[in-house]
Structure 1
Amino acid sequence: MLRHLHWVVLQQAFGFGSSSDPATFELNSSIIALPKTPMKSRYFDARVGYFSTSYVDFDANPQGVKSVTLARRWRLEPKPEDVEKYKRGELVEPQKPIIYYIDPTTPKKWIPYLIQGVNDWQAAFEKAGFKNAVMAKMPPTKDEDSTWSLEDARYSAIVYKPSDVPNASGPNVQDPRSGEIMESHINWYHNVMKLVHDWYMVQTAAVDPRARKMVFDDELMGQLIRFVSSHEVGHTLGLRHNFGSSSTVPVEKLRDKAWVEANGHTPSIMDYARFNYVAQPEDNITEKGLFPRISDYDMWAIEWGYRWYDTKTADDDKETLNKLTIEKLKNPRNWWGDGESWGDDPRSQTEDLGDNAMKASSYGIKNLQRILPNLYEWTKQSGEAYDDYQNMYGQVVSQFGRYIGHVSRYIGGLERTPKTVEQDGAVYTFTSKAKQKEAMSWIQNNVFKTPTWVIDAKYTSLTNQAPQTVISSLQSRALATMFSSNTASKLLRFEAEKPAEAYTLNEMMTDLRKGVFSEVAAKKPVDIYRRALQKDYTERLISLMAPPSAPQQIAPGITIQIGGGVSTTSDALSIVKAQLKTLQAELKAALPTVTDASTKMHLSDLIDRIDRAMKKD
């Protein structure tokens, strides 16, 4: 049984056929000893985004235990003869630079771009006092060094994966005693080129003619690979994603050619900001203002992690680093927004841009509306079917869906800005009522008001894609956020803590109901798209009335709760019932005035559904 299990795991990992097929493969193990003297650690700081390693210290707290969290970093130290130069502020080379070797099987034309993506980090390390601290190079040939091997854990590398996986990753191996990064083998999958192609086309084709085809020129693709290389190398240097970085940039600056080309559209390449989708054709912004780059936050983060201090322990550096961090964070471009472990902050989202998602998304939609009518011509290739057209249409819809997600997050937003006791102000703050209502208005106007621009008759005729499905999926995305128990609990908390400032749950649901059912108040016919939206809304509201299900045991010691509505002790249930009763009364009042047959059947159906739900309650 054990042997069979190993075979299945290997089969899945290496992509072989069925378990009955014979196969031969070679495995490699590489073991390196940890250093005799651990690197001096640096305590993790929630204000700077580093990967971390933790352990429990039983000596630090004489009456308990203490969890110690360390930042992951490479050991970067000046040479003994250069210590005084370093202290004077002169740039010096480290004792041991960080070197990434390029897998020799990598397609030759992409190698210079991968190397440049690594070397771009040199400027950041200069902020920490080191020159030539990080670099990429080709490995030695067999004649130069017959012992060198790509699988050898003593060497870090960017490994080429001839795979259809559209991704890249930057893992690292670290010493658990100190957080010292020992090595990294970055995975560069061949098909990541499709990923960056699709991103760039759907986000910039309105402003960059080079993006209007399915096969990019080598120089453009090379620069895209360079960006991926820099991002993944950043991870192997210890840096986590900075999803909040782009939120520090005013949206209108993203259209300011001089400003955005000088500063970039986000202060961090570790952001998931991708490309500048806010830029409009009339702005005439070039590649410098469309691409991400290593920028202010990255420079600061490397300085925080790699500035060397002539001290003995992490405790010796703690106060110095805290003072430095407080000073650096006076510049908002140095802020780290953790959108991974804290998902309620609308400032820290993936794929978004600017300090106002409503404004940024409106510009993004304008560009999608320019791209969609041209998509057939831009994706057409002689002798090919419509696969590329179908894929890129899906990318347009997905991009629109991202905008909906960005805006929806503002409703019930709870922002987190980690601080130490020396810093003034709250750590947790609610997104302002004005911003939340702006988000609601945007969703009503751009999502619930049927976005007919996304319906492409030519696409439907060639792919058999039902437009109702596309529209419903987009609208359901927004409804799901507004009807989530998480959103309800945050809005209720906002009302309890700051009643005079809160966008209350009842106010939010009233605004939502009035927008979704605007035809009912105006006594107008409801079209097929809005009928589906109203049914979705009603069913979601009814589902919240269902009592929470009893927890079910699915395995020893593991219980889950499936389905069910809001807690019976929550105000949310009272609000839901009141909203349903109000809707029921509005529908009944409107029904006698309706002359459109489809609308009359629709309203009668909704009334029946609500009546049944009320009787069950």
Structure 2
Amino acid sequence: MKRITMGLSLLTMVMAAHAQDKSKPAGDSAKVSKNMAYEKVITKDAITRQGMFTVHLVDNKYYFEIPDSLLKRDILVVTRFVGTPELSGVYAGEKANERTIYFEKGQGNKLLMRVDVFSVRVKDENQALAKAVQSSAIKPITAAFDIKTVNSANGNMVIDVTDFLKKDNSALSIDAAVKNDMKLGSIADDRSFITSVNAYPINIEVRTTRTYTTSGAAIPAAALSGAVTLEMNVSMVLLPKEPMRKRLFDERVGFMASKYILFDEDAQVSQEKYLIQRYRLEPKPEDLEKYKRGELVEPVKQIVYYIDPATPKKWRPYLIAGVNDWQKAFEQAGFKNAIVAKEWPEGDTTMSLEDARFSVIRYLASPIPNAYGPRISDPRSGEIIESHVGWYHNVMKLIHDWYMIQVGPNDARARKMVFDDELMGDLIRFVSSHEIGHTIGLRHNMGASSQTPVEKLRDKAWVEANGHTVSIMDYARFNYVAQPEDNIGKAGLYPRIGAYDKWAIQWGYKQIFNTSDEYQDSKILNKWVVDSLAANPRLWFGGEGKGEDPRSQTEDLGDDVMVANEYGIKNLKRVVPELVKWTAEDGDMDDNLERIYKGVVKQYTKYLYHVMKYIGGQYVTRKSAEQPGDVYEKLPKARVKEAISFIGRNLMEPPLWLYDKSITTRLNIFEMDEIMTMQNNMMTTILNAGMMYNLVQRYTNGKEQYTVTEYLNDVKKAVWKPLAGDPVKDTYYRGVQRMYVEKLVMAINTSRLKEGKLLNNLERSDASLYARTHLQAIKNELMISNVPGALNQAHKTNLIREIDKSLKGDDK
């Protein structure tokens, strides 16, 4: 009994001690309360703003008053540029940094700020495995604050954040890559200050001016002063207490996604998973049964985009229309009026353009011809919190030039340097829709345009009803296949939101019921993909256009690019003779002509390289186990042959039409140099040893064989033009023949072998043997050929000599 009594006494003493401590702040806070009363820190002169945190300004110092309820709550911190130097390469509205942070109590009267990281997850938090993952995922402490005082009325902790907000730190600083590009050095404390701190219900907005030392002489302000001053805005946004239901990425549907590593006790290996980024769209509770029955309902929270009040007023209706065009897509996911654009309420002082609660289409006064549509999303769930579309002023220059060059023969409105407001407005609307597509989560789908039959692009009724591509997320630009005699109106020339876009929104946003988590959801989503693609193959997602599949390219059209681009070249042949007239403006010193003509040449080379991708590429169609057929499929031999023939007709036969004398004499263009450079670049690609090696690997086995010998004969037939005595054309033909022999010689000679180095598989392959055999055949033909003229005869003799040197391995 004595031992039990002593134990009870000890327990009583401990409980009493704890009871006493409960009335005082933990750790050193008792000392703080005694020595630093709340009223002495937050004086009667404080300027106070209520919001997510209560913010106080006292004697030029800023304090956050943080309640216990917000400890360990994730806060998304987004730093943006508000004002930037001229020609600095960064613009107002662009993101400079992003972190997720949270606060927690620390030892020694400290409040710690940690950076939350979400790169590793467990499938079930109740699994024992979760402990192992947690012990290997300690969150870094990015700042530690002294608790200056505690508000006795509510227990809120008060910290001084002045230096934290004003100086550089990992949570608020500019991204390291941007700093490097701008050559920013250390921050100058004496020239950096806090402009304002505003509090809102779920966010804090901090405006600062920061001055950095710099060696960035390319920035005019830096060259003059040795410093760069930036105006910055930091949004600290409280993330939802309950994260949105996650949705797993499927590479057959083009959504932006965030990667993580998944650990699961029931799996024998860790898995790479991705969460798609999307807005939280949910039916109102009272409409849930209607939604389940398939009736259109309005979401709990509408997606709203505001138009920057700096935007010229005449373009605002078109930007708004570009946003509202997505309403039809969201209807396919079961929601009506899900997305809308509005004018910014300029008289409302409670709203700020930098407030992360508001998505804004920002107008950027920049010479950059571009636009972009980033998103800020909850890293825990993929929920898009807000988006800022950046619309650079000179994007109008870009779309003007595309439209004039691609469809000038079809639309008389395109034949001048300043478009009417209605036409330019229509083009801005299309750009707005494309960029909004990114902000709601969609990636580019560069394969979309390949799903439209070429001849349908010339069918007035069909193309005006369906559009020339199934996705506005493609870089399909304008319908350059249409010919003037087709009489196609603007509905068949402009891009629009198409069938793929609507289906992708349905897949990403339609609610799923009666499942326990995102992993069960993914099984349903997989079935949606399999069934949808089986019913409508035009819904294929072709990716970003960076791979080897020739169906997935930027700025191409139709299911047969050889035919489509022949139509495109026919239109360019109509454009070139008209350029001097179309680009004329009073006082212009041919700057307009030079700009548009360069665009024509660029368009022409795009047509060539669209076709070039059919030589050496392969089809890639991502599939799940339920889908039949190959993922990787070699191109039909006939398609490769068509591509070679196209290159022969449209490049190796010199495109003299591109160099109209009315243009070359005004711009001092030397067509021979330009044409031969293009020919040489193309020949380097189609006659290199790597191309031959690819053919050996892909076409040696299987029903359809395409030998390197047959390939080389096809190339020679297309590009080796016989000398005929025409002084102009023979000059080009001789150049092509010399290039042809030169490239084959390069395929034969292996410098690594001469240097005594190990060869790789390409160099050990039969590619050099094919090239050597082909060269010998060319020599044999040259020996018995008759060519007109002394110059042609000298050329022939020189080619034979070069081939002999190569075949003998004599470099002298």
Do they fold alike, i.e. is TM over 0.5?
A: yes
Structure 1 segment 430-509 matched on structure 2, within 5 A:
430-484=634-688, 487-498=691-702, 500-509=703-712
Tell me, yes or no, if the aligned pair for 1:404 and 1:477 is still in contact at 8 Å. Answer: no
Quickly say closer, same or farther: Cα 1:524–1:470, change in 2 above 3 A. Answer: closer
Tell me, yes or no, if the aligned pair for 1:546 and 1:565 is still in contact at 8 Å. Answer: no
Quickly say closer, same or farther: Cα 1:334–1:14, change in 2 above 3 A. Answer: farther
Deviates more, 1:460-469 or 1:173-182: 173-182
2:390 corresponds, among 163, 177, 187, to: 187
Quickly say closer, same or farther: Cα 1:549–1:389, change in 2 above 3 A. Answer: farther
Q: Does 2:377 correspond to 1:174? A: yes
Q: Distance in 2 between the 1:476 and 1:348 partners?
A: 25
SS class of match (1:584): helix
Tell me, yes or no, if the aligned pair for 1:128 and 1:307 is still in contact at 8 Å. Answer: yes
Match of 1:570 in 2: 765
Supply the AA of the counterpart residue of 1:91: L
Larger helix proportion of the pair: 1
Deviates more, 1:465-474 or 1:110-119: 465-474
Q: Distance in 2 between the 1:512 and 1:482 partners?
A: 8
Q: Distance in 2 between the 1:506 and 1:45 partners?
A: 41
Q: Does 2:551 correspond to 1:351? A: no
Tell me, yes or no, if the aligned pair for 2:550 and 2:618 is still in contact at 8 Å. Answer: yes
Match of 1:163 in 2: 366
Q: Distance in 2 between the 1:209 and 1:203 partners?
A: 12
Q: Does 2:610 correspond to 1:406? A: yes
Q: Distance in 2 between the 1:497 and 1:223 partners?
A: 51
Q: Does 2:400 correspond to 1:207? A: no
2:794 corresponds, among 595, 601, 604, to: 601
Q: Does 2:262 correspond to 1:57? A: yes
Quickly say closer, same or farther: Cα 1:587–1:164, change in 2 above 3 A. Answer: same
Match of 1:527 in 2: 730
Deviates more, 1:565-574 or 1:400-409: 565-574
Q: Deviations over 1:353-389 (max 9, x none)?
A: 1111111111111111111111110111111101111
Quickly say closer, same or farther: Cα 1:504–1:40, change in 2 above 3 A. Answer: farther
Q: Does 2:221 correspond to 1:40? A: no
Structure 1 segment 94-493 matched on structure 2, within 5 A:
94-141=299-346, 143-144=347-348, 146-310=349-513, 311-329=515-533, 330-341=535-546, 343-484=547-688, 487-493=691-697
Quickly say closer, same or farther: Cα 1:375–1:105, change in 2 above 3 A. Answer: same
Q: Distance in 1 between the 2:327 and 2:350 partners?
A: 29
SS class of match (2:763): coil
Q: Distance in 1 between the 2:445 and 2:689 partners?
A: 27
TM-score normalised by L of structure 2: 0.70
Quickly say closer, same or farther: Cα 1:517–1:57, change in 2 above 3 A. Answer: same
Tell me, yes or no, if the aligned pair for 1:172 and 1:185 is still in contact at 8 Å. Answer: yes
Residue 351 of structure 1, CA deviation? 0.8
Quickly say closer, same or farther: Cα 1:597–1:29, change in 2 above 3 A. Answer: farther
Deviates more, 1:101-110 or 1:172-181: 172-181
SS class of match (2:232): coil
Q: Distance in 2 between the 1:78 and 1:15 partners?
A: 52
Q: Distance in 2 between the 1:225 and 1:123 partners?
A: 19
Supply the AA of the counterpart residue of 2:368: V
Quickly say closer, same or farther: Cα 1:312–1:447, change in 2 above 3 A. Answer: same
Tell me, yes or no, if the aligned pair for 1:567 and 1:573 is still in contact at 8 Å. Answer: no
Tell me, yes or no, if the aligned pair for 1:101 and 1:156 is still in contact at 8 Å. Answer: yes
Q: Deviations over 1:210-230 (max 9, x none)?
A: 000111001100010000000
SS class of match (2:435): helix
Quickly say closer, same or farther: Cα 1:506–1:384, change in 2 above 3 A. Answer: same
The count of corresponding residues between Structure 1 and Structure 2 is: 599
Structure 1 stretches lacking a partner, 5+ long? 551-563
Quickly say closer, same or farther: Cα 1:11–1:518, change in 2 above 3 A. Answer: closer
SS class of match (2:642): helix
Residue 93 of structure 1, CA deviation? 1.2
Supply the AA of the counterpart residue of 2:500: Y
Q: Distance in 1 between the 2:427 and 2:217 partners?
A: 30
Q: Deviations over 1:473-500 (max 9, x none)?
A: 43234324323555334322222332x4
Match of 1:4 in 2: 185
SS class of match (1:336): coil
Q: Deviations over 1:91-148 (max 9, x none)?
A: 111111211111110111111111110110000000000111111112222x42x232
Q: Distance in 2 between the 1:101 and 1:12 partners?
A: 36
Tell me, yes or no, if the aligned pair for 1:411 and 1:439 is still in contact at 8 Å. Answer: yes
Supply the AA of the counterpart residue of 2:264: D
Deviates more, 1:279-288 or 1:534-543: 534-543
SS class of match (2:585): coil
Q: Percent identity?
A: 51
Residue 548 of structure 1, CA deviation? 6.3
Q: Deviations over 1:20-66 (max 9, x none)?
A: 35664422222223322222111111211111111112336643311
Residue 531 of structure 1, CA deviation? 2.2
TM-score normalised by L of structure 1: 0.91
Q: Distance in 2 between the 1:404 and 1:189 partners?
A: 30
SS class of match (1:30): strand
Tell me, yes or no, if the aligned pair for 1:544 and 1:565 is still in contact at 8 Å. Answer: no
Tell me, yes or no, if the aligned pair for 1:97 and 1:133 is still in contact at 8 Å. Answer: yes
Q: Distance in 2 between the 1:167 and 1:615 partners?
A: 54
Higher alpha-carbon Rg: 2
Residue 585 of structure 1, CA deviation? 3.0
Deviates more, 1:596-605 or 1:251-260: 596-605
Q: Distance in 2 between the 1:469 and 1:42 partners?
A: 54
Q: Distance in 2 between the 1:105 and 1:340 partners?
A: 35
Residue 169 of structure 1, CA deviation? 0.9
Residue 549 of structure 1, CA deviation? 5.1
SS class of match (1:163): coil
Over the residues paired in the alignment, what is the CA RMSD in angstroms? 2.6
Quickly say closer, same or farther: Cα 1:380–1:95, change in 2 above 3 A. Answer: same
Tell me, yes or no, if the aligned pair for 1:117 and 1:226 is still in contact at 8 Å. Answer: yes
SS class of match (2:361): strand
Quickly say closer, same or farther: Cα 1:9–1:213, change in 2 above 3 A. Answer: farther
Q: Distance in 2 between the 1:3 and 1:371 partners?
A: 47
Deviates more, 1:318-327 or 1:245-254: 318-327
Quickly say closer, same or farther: Cα 1:546–1:52, change in 2 above 3 A. Answer: farther
Supply the AA of the counterpart residue of 2:764: T
Supply the AA of the counterpart residue of 1:110: W
Quickly say closer, same or farther: Cα 1:187–1:509, change in 2 above 3 A. Answer: same
Tell me, yes or no, if the aligned pair for 1:78 and 1:94 is still in contact at 8 Å. Answer: yes
Residue 604 of structure 1, CA deviation? 3.1
Q: Distance in 2 between the 1:98 and 1:416 partners?
A: 35
Q: Distance in 2 between the 1:289 and 1:484 partners?
A: 41
Supply the AA of the counterpart residue of 1:371: V
Deviates more, 1:224-233 or 1:58-67: 58-67
Match of 1:553 in 2: none
Supply the AA of the counterpart residue of 1:287: K
SS class of match (1:184): strand
Supply the AA of the counterpart residue of 1:32: V
Tell me, yes or no, if the aligned pair for 1:346 and 1:413 is still in contact at 8 Å. Answer: yes
SS class of match (1:519): coil
Quickly say closer, same or farther: Cα 1:25–1:67, change in 2 above 3 A. Answer: closer
Q: Distance in 2 between the 1:566 and 1:598 partners?
A: 41
Quickly say closer, same or farther: Cα 1:12–1:312, change in 2 above 3 A. Answer: farther
Tell me, yes or no, if the aligned pair for 2:725 and 2:788 is still in contact at 8 Å. Answer: no
Tell me, yes or no, if the aligned pair for 1:436 and 1:503 is still in contact at 8 Å. Answer: no
SS class of match (1:28): strand
Q: Deviations over 1:158-201 (max 9, x none)?
A: 11110000111111122222222222111110000010001000
